[in-house]
Amino acid sequence: MDLLDRKRVYIFPSRAGAMFLGVIGLMLIGAINYDNALAYILAFLLVGLVFTAMLHTWRNLAGLALAEVEVEPVFAGAPARFKFRFVDGDQRPRHALRLRRLLKRRGAGWWRPLVDGTAECATLELPPGQVVMQVLTTRRGWLSLGRVELSSRYPLGILRAWAYLRQDARCLVYPAPTGALPLASGRAGAGGEGADGAGVDDFAGLRPYVAGDSLRSVHWKAAARGEALLVKQLRGGGGTRWLRWQDTATLGDVEAQLSQLAQWILMLDASGERYGVELPHLVLEPDAGPVQRARALRALALWPRA
């Protein structure tokens, strides 16, 4: 939980605000020169407006707290969707919020906004208090959000309040699933254990459900009878496929090889087959389902860069 208390919300006139102050100055000069009471009054009213707007702009951010930043892994090239979830102790509507990623200038002491990675939020609805920031991904691996600034100019636009959100959110970026190689027919497992490997074809029995099992293999009829969740175990006719590093060796480029493997994983996952992954110095035992898919893709994403 990251509460934006009063010490962490900064405020300063925006460019429009600087112009506004200039206008007030001109009005005051006119008021003094013509000794015009109502011109004084309007100038002072606008001075008051600056102060009032300052409080309103500041309170539009203050008291908000960042509860968490959620993000699902994505494939490179697709936008990573960082979901900022805010909670609000004061339960006030917050308007015209803006989230921006900032990047530290190399060698310089200041931050500049990144072109990529902004999110506008017209009004923060509480709950869910969620703002989604999309960040384009280009490379596999961890995408760190970096410094994020929450800002607002509501209600007059003459002042900008901002705060830096304390978070260390990062998104796992899988290699883009591309490639033209046909799926290798590596049926014989590296360990030769294809004989008892679970598959998708023949029913082999039931076992208790564990988190991560595919919902398609849950024995729903038994569940409907009120029994514990059971998972149908199938004995695949074809057994296990092995996705091997050397099968993609013809591509030559490490990134292309990883992309090809990712594509194969998606294909096999879609058909519900069991598969294992064999990379240099890393072997993933054959399995099927979302857990296996996530494990395999993660391994590809974090594979050391060339």
Partner 1 sequence: MTAGGGITVRELWWAAAGVALALAPHVTRLPPLLPLIFVALLAWRLLGAHGKVRLPDREHRLLWLATQVGAVALFVAIYARYQGELGRDAGVALLCGLIGLKLLEMKEPRDFYVACFLAYFLVVTNFFYSQSIPTAFYLLGVTVLVTTALVRFNSPAALGDLACLRLGARLVAESVPVMVLCFVLFPRLPGPLWGMPGADDSAVTGLSDQMEIGRIAHLGTSDEIAFRVAFEGERPRARDLYWRGPVLWNTDGRRWEAGSIAREGAAAVIPRGPRYRYEVLLEPHGERWLLGLDAVTAGDASVRSSRALELSARQPVRRRARYTLESATEYSLPDITPEERQAALALPPGAHPRTRELAARWRAAAANDREVIKRALARFAAAPYTYTLTPPLLDGDPIDQFLFDTEQGFCEHYAAAFVVLMRASGIPARVVTGYQGGEYNGVSDYMLVRQRDAHAWAEVHLPGEGWIRIDPTAAVAPERVSLGIGDLARRESALPMLDGDSPAYEVWRSARQLWDAANYEWSQWVLGYTPQRQRDLLARLGLDDMGAAELALALTGALGLAMGGLAVLLLRRRPTPGTPAVRAYAAFCARLARVGLVRAPHEGPLEFAERVAATRADLGVAAREIARLYTLLRYADAPAGLEALRQHVQSFRPGPPSS
Contact set with partner 1 (CB under 8 A): 1-3, 5, 15-16, 19-20, 23, 26-27, 29-49, 51-53, 55-56, 59, 62-63, 65, 67, 87, 89-91, 95-96, 122-123, 127, 153-158
- Local structure of residue 40 (DSSP, 8 states): H
Could you tell me the smallest distance in angstroms from the CB atom of residue 89 to partner 1? Answer: 4
Q: Give the nearer residue to partner 1 in terms of CB position, either 48 or 191.
A: 48
Could you tell me the smallest distance in angstroms from the CB atom of residue 67 to partner 1? Answer: 6
What is the bridge-based pairing of β-strands 74-75 and 170-174?
A: parallel
Could you tell me the smallest distance in angstroms from the CB atom of residue 163 to partner 1? Answer: 14
Q: Give the nearer residue to partner 1 in terms of CB position, either 32 or 188.
A: 32
Contacts of 268 (CB under 8 A, 6+ apart): 183, 241, 243, 275, 288
Could you tell me the smallest distance in angstroms from the CB atom of residue 116 to partner 1? Answer: 20
Q: Give the nearer residue to partner 1 in terms of CB position, either 31 or 74.
A: 31
Residue 241's closest CA among 215, 216, 214, 264? 264
Residue 284's closest CA among 237, 234, 245? 245
Q: Give the nearer residue to partner 1 in terms of CB position, either 35 or 168.
A: 35
Judge whether 150 and 4 are in contact, CB under 8 Å: yes
Q: Which amino acid is at 300?
A: L
User: Could you count the other beta carbons within 10 Å of the beta carbon of residue 101?
Assistant: 21
Could you tell me the smallest distance in angstroms from the CB atom of residue 119 to partner 1? Answer: 14
Q: Give the nearer residue to partner 1 in terms of CB position, either 130 or 214.
A: 130
Q: Give the nearer residue to partner 1 in terms of CB position, either 153 or 219.
A: 153
Could you tell me the smallest distance in angstroms from the CB atom of residue 57 to partner 1? Answer: 9
Judge whether 154 and 52 are in contact, CB under 8 Å: no
Could you tell me the smallest distance in angstroms from the CB atom of residue 46 to partner 1? Answer: 6
Q: Give the nearer residue to partner 1 in terms of CB position, either 91 or 252.
A: 91
Length of the chain: 306
Q: How far apart are CA 87 and CA 2, in angstroms?
A: 10
Q: How far apart are CA 283 and CA 289, in angstroms?
A: 17
Q: How far apart are CA 207 and CA 230, in angstroms?
A: 6
Distance from CA of residue 283 to its chain's centroid? Answer: 28
Could you tell me the smallest distance in angstroms from the CB atom of residue 169 to partner 1? Answer: 17
- Local structure of residue 117 (DSSP, 8 states): E
Q: Give the nearer residue to partner 1 in terms of CB position, either 39 or 200.
A: 39
Could you tell me the smallest distance in angstroms from the CB atom of residue 65 to partner 1? Answer: 5
What is the bridge-based pairing of β-strands 94-104 and 147-152?
A: antiparallel
Q: How far apart are CA 121 and CA 267, in angstroms?
A: 37
Q: How far apart are CA 253 and CA 30, in angstroms?
A: 72
Give the position of tokens 């993660």: 298
Q: Give the nearer residue to partner 1 in terms of CB position, either 62 or 277.
A: 62
